[in-house]
Structure 1
Amino acid sequence: MFETRMHKHKSLFLAAVTLLSLVSGTFVLSPAQAETVMERVKRTGVLTAGTSRDAIPFAYVDSKGQSVGYSIDMLVMVKEQLEKQLGRKIQLKLVKLTPAQRIPQIQTRKVDIVCDASSFTWERDKQVDFSVSYAVTGTQLLVKKDSTLGTPESLLGKRVGVLPQTTNEQVIRKVQPKAQLVNFKSRDEAYTALQQGKIDAFASDGILSEGWLQLQKNHDAFKIVPDRPFSREGIACMVPENNSRFLDSVNFALIKFMQGVINGNPRNVAIFDRSFGAKGTIFLNQDLRDLAIETMQLVIESRQEIPKNDL
């Protein structure tokens, strides 16, 4: 009878704890019970991807209102790889995010992946997982042509525009703690402020500033400094932690694309040239193009070449 009474009390206690957890909102599924990205994509047929609206040439909105760019092309490659693996059609749903929204949206599973112009940092890697890098970037300054800025010392007391929670913001804080950082919600806002003289420089990825410059009629009125970036990072996609199968698929798709460019696959080369070719968004001269190809080769060699029958 004592055992029966104890069992009854134990059952009541567990029921009370469960009810309290539900009421307080602290009842959560364990990682083992939570749906993985691959499971959700297979169930829904939708891959929800975070991207940017103004990260030229990687992810931006064109004159027709369409999301385009090199990173958007990489997302298409990922989608096609998932279709092949899961044996069903997948819809690619794009969600435009600010840099500050990217990691929270991944952590709360509002998006399955982010591919824009996100660069790898060890601090970010504590919160999300990164794919292999498919481009290289670095922090530089966009300034007016007659500006003398370009060194850390020259930024002392200067107004430097940044986007919050970007590596560019972190780099400028590190190289010149006494610079006056001015936060902007978008690159377009920062570019406008620079043209109006409200800031002395805009710190961004050099390749993104170059993309903006090439679209401007008065591009000769600006320059990008210094020649050697303050920092260098690899651009990669971000995914939720503990989704190794999904990350494997993303990496396979990216390396498959890079290997196709190196091997001269017409479709892959056309995609690369659309962003970086002679008539692309940003023109890479032969030296820079060779460097991009060499970087791709290094990424491939850090893993394994894709078998020919899978290309």
Structure 2
Amino acid sequence: MHARRLRVSLKGWGGVGAMALVCALAVLFALLLPMARSHGDGTSGPATGGPGATWGTQARAAEECKDPEKQTLSPSPDDGPTIDAIKNRKGEKRKLVVGVDQNSYRWGYRDPNSGGDAELEGFDIDLARRIAQDILGDRNAVQFKAIPTDQRIPAIEDGRVDMVVRTMTINCDRVADVAFSAPYFRTGQQLLAPKSSPITGYNDTLAGKKICTAAGSTAFSTLEQDREDGRLAPGADLGTTVPNQLDCLVRLQLGEVDAVVTDGALAASQAAQDPTVQLKGDAFTTEYYGVAMKKDADDLVRRVNQILVEWRRDTANGWQWSYDQWLSETLGDDSAKSEPPAPQYLRKS
């Protein structure tokens, strides 16, 4: 199942010189890291070899999935085996291990102008610290692990992280592999291109253009499906995929691609980093970010959902405060279009 079509207006803002160093480092990574290639089958989970029983099971689960943002467990403040294991870690290891991004401006990034160690900060970082505070009683009892876009699911399945809080869209392909919390943010796919580009949006002006997406992203699987269904402009080239979304901005700056497709929330942040690019057209999907965890970590899923309920209610240091702090500059003061829907908990076990 792919994201439902809905046009939602988002605006980018001016450039921010503070991110120049981040972009320069991203150029270095883009040149040194091998380009990650998707298998082109429209799935967003990890590569597990050739077609077989496992792939078939996941494909059927994705096909049967409806409203993936509702396929989560009801909230509970109770501990369970997964939370007990986290709490029983000793010494310096007694931390919540969270997979995050470190180069998504305003979401999870290191501000080079912040001084000191340039600690991770942003909207997703606030949420990760809130979860650590609730489970371990210390908002700093969290170990952040920076992971590429295409490694989010493998990192969970391999046990390298307890959860991923990294602008991760809930969709049916992923629900077959990991468990998600209720949504904590609403966004949609959107196009980013140079201001001087003749591209006007997700339409026929993309014909023959090179489009960059992150490997394993919803953007890539959506474009693949649209090409299969005849909705993508003819001749649009999807051959450029990268490990991290910011690498797409670098390739756009280098002139290696004509456009970038990513979540509108991220696209707005990237437009804020570079005054020569802008959002083109409206968002052409609606989707939701969720916290991803292991498939069988029921107690942790329920606990995170309980935390999200309280985070939304907290008028002093909750969801709205984090939005105002990090995202209002790039997405606008009105947070209504970004608020997640009232949660529904349709998963029973």
The verdict on a shared fold, with TM-score over 0.5 as the criterion, is: yes
TM-score in terms of structure 1 length: 0.74
* Aligned-residue offset at 1:267: 6.0
Larger radius of gyration: 1
Partner residue, 1:153: 204
Contact 1:49 1:113 survives alignment (8 Å): yes
1:206 to 256, 264, 267: 264
Shift of 1:276: 2.5
Give % identity.
20
* Kept in 2: contact 1:112–1:240 (CA 8 A): yes
Question: By percentage of residues, which structure has more helix?
Answer: 1
- 2:236 — aligned with what? 179
The C-alpha deviation readout for 1:86-132, integer Å capped at 9, x for no partner, is xx897200000001111011011110000011000111000000011
- What is the CA deviation profile of residues 36-65 of structure 1, one whole-angstrom value per residue up to 9, with x for unaligned ones? 431221111221100012223222222153
Q: Which residue matches 1:163?
A: 214
Pairwise CA RMSD: 2.3
Separation in structure 2 between the aligned mates of residue 290 and residue 140 of structure 1, nearest angstrom: 18
Superposition pairs for residues 127-276 of structure 1, below 5 Å? Answer: 127-149=177-199, 150-176=201-227, 178-181=235-238, 182-216=240-274, 219=275, 221-227=276-282, 229-260=283-314, 264-265=315-316, 269-276=320-327
Counterpart AA for 2:170 = F
- 1:24 aligns to what? none
Q: TM-score, normalised by structure 2?
A: 0.66
Describe the shift of the 1:77–1:206 C-alpha distance in structure 2 as closer, same or farther (beyond 3 A): same
Change (3 A) 1:55 1:196: same
Distance (whole Å) between structure 2 residues aligned to residue 232 and residue 95 of structure 1: 28
User: Which secondary structure state, in structure 2, belongs to the residue aligned with residue 204 of structure 1?
Assistant: strand
Other structure's SS at 1:299 match = coil
Aligned-pair CA distance for 1:269: 4.3
Q: Which protein, 1 or 2, shows the higher relative CO under an 8 Å CA cutoff with sep ≥ 6?
A: 2
Instruction: Name the counterpart of 1:290.
Output: 336
The number of equivalent residue pairs is 250
CA contact (8 A) 2:98 2:145 kept: yes
**Superposed, which structure 2 residues align to 1:33-182 within 5 Å?**
36-44=81-89, 45-63=94-112, 64=114, 65-83=118-136, 91-149=141-199, 150-176=201-227, 178-181=235-238, 182=240
Whole-Å separation in 2 of the counterparts to 1:265 and 1:89: 16
SS at match of 1:176: helix
SS in structure 2 of the partner of residue 104 of structure 1: helix
- CA displacement at 1:74 relative to structure 2: 0.5
Which sections of structure 2, spanning at least 5 residues, go unmatched?
Answer: 1-79, 229-234
Determine helix, strand or coil for the equivalent of 2:279.
strand
How far apart in 2 are the matches of 1:140 and 1:128? 25
Q: Give the aligned partner of residue 22 of structure 1.
A: none
Runs of 5+ unmatched residues, structure 1: 1-34, 304-311
Q: Is the 8 A contact 2:99 2:163 kept in 1?
A: yes
Aligned counterparts of 2:246 and 2:82: Cα–Cα separation in 1: 33
Structure 1 residues 76 and 89, CA gap change in structure 2 (3 angstroms): closer
Task: Give the 3 Å change call, closer, same or farther, for CA 242–267 of structure 1 in structure 2.
Answer: closer
Change in 2 beyond 3 A, CA 1:256/1:107: same
Residues 174 and 129 of structure 1: is their aligned pair in 2 closer, same or farther, counting only changes over 3 Å?
Answer: same
Matched residue SS, 2:273? coil
